[in-house]
Amino acid sequence: MHALLHRLQLLPSTVLVIRGDALLTEDAVLEPDDEIEIRSVISGG
Amino acid sequence: MKCTRCGEPAEIALRAHNASFCRPCFLFWFERRTLKQIENEAMFVPGQKLLVAVSGGKDSLALWELLSRAGHDTLGFHLELGIDGYSRQSLDRCQAFAEARGLRFEVRSLATANMAVPEMASATHRPPCAACGKAKRYYFDQAALEFRCEVLVTGHNLDDEAARLLGNVLRWREEQLFRQSPVLESRHPKFVRKVKPFFLASEYEIAAYAFMRKIDYQVQECPNAAGATQLTYKRMLDDLEHESPGSKSAFVGDFLRRGRANFAEPASRSDGGTCTNCGMPAFHELCSFCSLRREVERKRTDRNPGREKN
């Protein structure tokens, strides 16, 4: 997952990475068929 | 990655705290830390009636969840802003949250008051966030008074406070620096104390808490937030935090411990004034919101003179 966030130019502390009902930590290994949601945590204006 | 407390597989890693947690341990740690902050800062005590300002976003709903779980006497209050597409969803999230948990909830609407945020911004030619902030402060104060709440609680988080502090320091806004605090005491009998229990909780921690507690919050950002200066500051602080974990909490925490005392309380402009239109505290004949309301009405009349006459 670290590589994915790096490729998307996202800092780990600015997004939740969700697989199913669980959050993923940076060292999680993603499988080819995994469906994940990347949700920004930043709000405000 | 293993949980720092129990050794089970971790679901969240917090570099600023040099810790990783499984879900039960994170929920325990996060709730205990927030309640400890409330106690340390003497924000409120059990039995006091709290008005929780809820937008439908993660911060305010997570805070409402945490406070109600801890047994505090809460009343949720939402101000509907009249922003197409966004405001309806925000209100729906708050209502669903309150209903599912059996919590008391009140709503006021800017659109119903003919003061929708887009209309205020258009009439005054000022950024929508300025009018929105003014309206929120006014309605929250009024609601606390109307519903006899002793404390107004908002979901401002560490990232909000760090971005605000950076903006205030960059411009050396001394009055704002004095007023930047997790607890603002009432300065008028019609105002209540204002507190921010999440002032040292990061957006990441709060979003994770909301997710783990299965809170259906408004993920979509306010359409007016795009390009806001505060978001620029947040991005810069995120880069800094990534390179040097713990920077944000040190910035805000050390300012509160050592920096804020260097800024004097501004002399009160006028004590005891009352708005001639609404009766709320005012520095002039009208409070700042009624003054804005009058400006909007005047612009509306200028644009549609016939409609006002009919």
DSSP secondary structure of A1-45: -HHHHHHTT--GGGEEEEETTEE--TTPPPPTT---EEEE-----
Q: What value of ipTM does the predicted structure carry?
A: 0.97
Q: What strands lie across the sheet with B49-53, from one edge to the other? A: B105-109, B73-80, B49-53, B151-153, B193-195, B183-184
* Interface check A18 vs B, CB under 8 A: yes
B140 vs B151: CA distance, rounded Å: 11
* Interface check B76 vs A, CB under 8 A: no
pLDDT at B307: 57
pLDDT per residue as tens, chain B (310 positions): 999 999 999 999 999 999 999 999 999 999 999 999 999 999 999 999 999 999 999 999 999 999 999 999 999 999 999 999 899 999 999 999 999 999 999 999 999 999 999 999 998 888 899 999 999 999 999 999 999 999 999 999 999 999 999 999 999 999 999 999 999 999 899 999 999 999 999 999 999 999 999 999 999 889 988 888 999 999 999 999 999 999 999 999 999 999 999 998 877 655 568 999 999 999 899 999 999 999 999 988 887 776 554 4
Where do the domains of chain B lie, and which CATH numbers do they carry?
A: 42-216+229-266 (3.40.50.620), 269-310 (no CATH)
The mean pLDDT of A7-27, rounded to a whole number, is: 96
Q: Which residues of B touch A16 (CB under 8 A)?
A: 204, 207-208, 211
pLDDT in tens, B64-101: 999 999 999 999 999 999 999 899 999 999 999 999 99
pLDDT in tens, B190-232: 999 999 999 999 999 999 999 999 999 999 889 988 888 999 9
* Interface check B2 vs A, CB under 8 A: no
Partner-chain contact B11 A26, CB within 8 Å: no
C-beta neighbour count of A31 within 10 angstroms: 6
Average pLDDT for chain A: 94
Partner-chain contact B1 A23, CB within 8 Å: no
| In chain A, domain spans | 2-40
This prediction's pTM? 0.95
Partner-chain contact B212 A23, CB within 8 Å: yes
